[in-house]
């Protein structure tokens, strides 16, 4: 009996042992599954059919590279479509537990612009944000290096356009815009170019510059007889500047008179012909200088102007307001007219040239290249532009100058030439064949819908500082576009 009882005890142990072994196995399996899930935390994305697909998506994000040359945005678009958690403005469903900045930073492709920008949008205050900004700056520098290293003018222009598209607020955006604008100005010195027809869509491309005459055509244009000039020379007594309100721009009355408009010296372009007599019969006052940032700011402070232009880091205050389009001026002029009870507007092209000439029939604001710097802020010897005037320095290389920094003309007006291009009320015509002779704006039967700009800018050479030189551009904001006002007297 004793031996049988001992054998029964041994038999009863075996089922218990099997149960213990089975329990241990289940625990190990569960622990293994939990460890796998822990290692793959934060990589689950809704809509992926398996963890293998999720791993592939993550690999796509972290291995995407920006091409060394001729970069495109295909990689950026791929990132947005394949990684919703990093796409800017994504509506993808969140993970069951929101990833923190550290987890997302591990997935960011540090050489991909879209991923870095999306990270900053979501985690702009995290400890990784400074590194993200530094990486974006490195991409910015690399993109500009491609502009500088481009072989040939056409390739450089294309690289500059690419830079602006990818870095609209980049550290070299101003230089890129200046490069594109100077390309237009250089092209304008060549033979005739084709203009888009009125109403053509110019929003996506830089518009072609104005037409100019061939060299032979210019040389055959005779200068106007000296006696004819004297017959229309206006009185040049300087009036006293005045303001209609403390925050209004200073204006000065210009004398009533006649003048010869166009290429009176015979060294201009075909669009400056024919030379014709214009009467400035109405009593008007014109801005002593371009509208400044302070003056524009008064309109913003009153709530009448909603747009605050960028000063490009050059300073605001008395510097001329820049990065304004022709249509941007409407709100300011409407506000000024309502505030003062007088009608303020852009000058007509004829009024502008009459005021700029101030009784002078010389081609240039200065008689020689050496004295231009006394009268105008342009590309001087300290400028980086290849067409710079190496005979003088004006003290403001490659940027605008505070309004009134240069010698006034005979009407008491400052900066009529140089500093910033000034919008006028006229649309573009290829010549003066049917232009008004009463000084009014020519806004009908346009050869191109663009507004005319006059006066040149800090970025131009002497040839653009001719008083009769005409330029046009579509309704865009650029760092060398500004304006001055005309006030109609009762």
Span 451-483, pLDDT tens digits: 999 999 999 988 888 999 999 999 999 999 999
Neighbour-count burial for 70-96, b at 16+ CB within 10 Å, e otherwise: ebeeebbeebbebbbbbbeeeeeeeee
3-state secondary structure 444-480: CCCCEEEEEEECCCCCCCHHHHECCCCEEECCCCCCC
Q: Which residue has the higher pLDDT, 359 or 301?
A: 301
Q: Note the pLDDT tens digit of each residue in 326-369.
A: 999 999 999 999 999 999 999 999 999 999 999 887 777 666 77
Predicted TM-score of the model (pTM): 0.58
Neighbour-count burial for 378-387, b at 16+ CB within 10 Å, e otherwise: bbbeebebeb
Position 154 confidence tier, pLDDT thresholds 50, 70, 90:
confident
Mean pLDDT of 197-204: 36
Q: Are 291 and 423 in contact (CB under 8 A)?
A: no
What residue spans define the domains of the chain?
A: 1-39, 51-144, 215-488
Domain 215-488 has CATH 3.40.50.620: no
Place of tokens 């801005």: 287
Report whether pLDDT(102) > 60.
Answer: yes
Position 158 confidence tier, pLDDT thresholds 50, 70, 90:
confident
Mean pLDDT of 94-109: 66
Predicted pLDDT at 99? 67
Mean pLDDT of 61-74: 34
Q: Which residue has the higher pLDDT, 163 or 335?
A: 335
Residue 7 burial by Cβ neighbours in a 10 Å radius (0-12, 13-18, 19+): exposed
Report whether pLDDT(212) > 50.
Answer: no
Q: Which residue has the higher pLDDT, 162 or 42?
A: 162
Report whether pLDDT(143) > 90.
Answer: no
What percentage of the chain reaches a pLDDT higher than 70?
A: 67
Predicted pLDDT at 98? 56
Predicted pLDDT at 165? 80
Position 127 confidence tier, pLDDT thresholds 50, 70, 90:
confident
The C-alpha atoms of residue 399 and residue 458 are separated, in whole angstroms, by 6
Position 197 confidence tier, pLDDT thresholds 50, 70, 90:
very low
Strand partners, 454: 422
Predicted pLDDT at 200? 36
Predicted pLDDT at 300? 97
Q: Note the pLDDT tens digit of each residue in 166-196.
A: 888 788 788 788 778 766 655 544 433 333 3
Q: Note the pLDDT tens digit of each residue in 282-295.
A: 779 999 999 999 99
Mean pLDDT of 319-325: 97
Residue 429, CA atoms < 13 Å, CB-side half-sphere = 18
Residue 42 burial by Cβ neighbours in a 10 Å radius (0-12, 13-18, 19+): middle
Neighbour-count burial for 185-208, b at 16+ CB within 10 Å, e otherwise: beebeeeeeebeeeeeebeeebbb
- Of 85-99, 233-247, 290-304, 319-333, which range is least confident? 85-99
Which tokens belong to 132? Answer: 């993200």
Q: Which residue has the higher pLDDT, 432 or 239?
A: 432
Nearest to 480 by CA among 489, 471, 468, 488: 471
Q: Which residue has the higher pLDDT, 39 or 250?
A: 250
Report whether pLDDT(122) > 90.
Answer: no
Q: Which residue has the higher pLDDT, 148 or 352?
A: 352
Predicted pLDDT at 133? 85
Q: Note the pLDDT tens digit of each residue in 418-434.
A: 999 999 999 999 999 99
Place of tokens 């991909």: 112
First to last CA, the chain: 136
């Amino acid at each position: 009996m004793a031996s049988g009882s001992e054998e029964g005890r041994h038999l009863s142990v075996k089922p218990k042992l099997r149960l213990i072994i089975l329990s241990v196995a289940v625990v190990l399996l569960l622990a293994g599954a939990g460890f796998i899930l822990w290692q793959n935390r934060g990589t689950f994305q809704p809509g992926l059919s398996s963890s293998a697909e999720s791993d592939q998506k993550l690999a796509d994000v972290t291995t995407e590279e920006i091409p060394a040359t001729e970069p495109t945005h295909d990689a950026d678009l791929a990132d947005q479509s394949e990684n919703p958690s990093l796409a800017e403005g994504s509506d993808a469903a969140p993970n069951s537990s929101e990833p923190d900045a550290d987890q997302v930073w591990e997935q960011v492709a540090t050489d991909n612009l879209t991923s870095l920008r999306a990270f900053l949008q979501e985690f702009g205050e995290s400890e990784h944000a400074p590194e993200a900004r530094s990486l974006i700056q490195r991409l910015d520098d690399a993109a500009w290096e491609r502009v500088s290293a481009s072989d040939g003018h056409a390739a450089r222009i294309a690289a500059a356009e690419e830079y602006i598209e990818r870095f609209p607020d980049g550290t070299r955006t101003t230089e890129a815009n200046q490069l594109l604008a100077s390309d237009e100005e250089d092209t304008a010195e060549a033979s005739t170019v084709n203009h888009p027809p009125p109403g053509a869509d110019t929003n996506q491309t830089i518009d072609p510059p104005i037409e100019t005459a061939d060299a032979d055509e210019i040389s055959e244009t005779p200068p106007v007889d000296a006696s004819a000039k004297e017959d229309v020379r206006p009185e040049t007594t300087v009036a006293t500047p005045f303001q209609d309100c403390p925050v209004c721009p200073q204006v000065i009355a210009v004398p009533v008179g006649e003048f010869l408009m166009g290429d009176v010296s015979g060294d201009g372009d075909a669009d400056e012909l024919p030379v014709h007599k214009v009467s400035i019969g109405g009593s008007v006052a014109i801005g002593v200088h371009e509208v400044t940032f302070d003056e524009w700011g008064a309109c913003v402070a009153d709530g009448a102007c909603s747009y605050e232009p960028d000063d490009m880091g050059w300073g605001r205050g008395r510097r001329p307001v820049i990065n304004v389009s022709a249509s941007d001026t409407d709100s300011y002029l409407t506000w000024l007219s309502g505030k003062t009870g007088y009608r303020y507007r852009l000058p007509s092209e004829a009024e502008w040239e009459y005021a700029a000439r101030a009784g002078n029939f010389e081609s240039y604001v200065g008689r020689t290249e050496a004295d231009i710097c006394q009268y105008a802020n342009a590309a001087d010897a300290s400028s980086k532009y290849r067409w710079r005037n190496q005979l003088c320095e004006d003290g403001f290389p490659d940027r605008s100058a505070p309004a009134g920094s240069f010698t006034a003309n005979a009407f008491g007006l400052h900066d009529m030439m140089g500093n910033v291009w000034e919008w006028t009320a006229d649309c573009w015509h290829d010549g003066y064949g049917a232009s008004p002779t009463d000084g009014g704006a020519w806004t009908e039967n346009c050869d191109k819908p663009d507004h005319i700009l006059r006066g040149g800018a800090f970025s131009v050479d002497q040839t653009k500082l001719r008083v009769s030189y005409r330029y046009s551009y579509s309704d865009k904001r650029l760092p060398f576009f500004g304006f001055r006002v005309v006030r109609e007297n009762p």
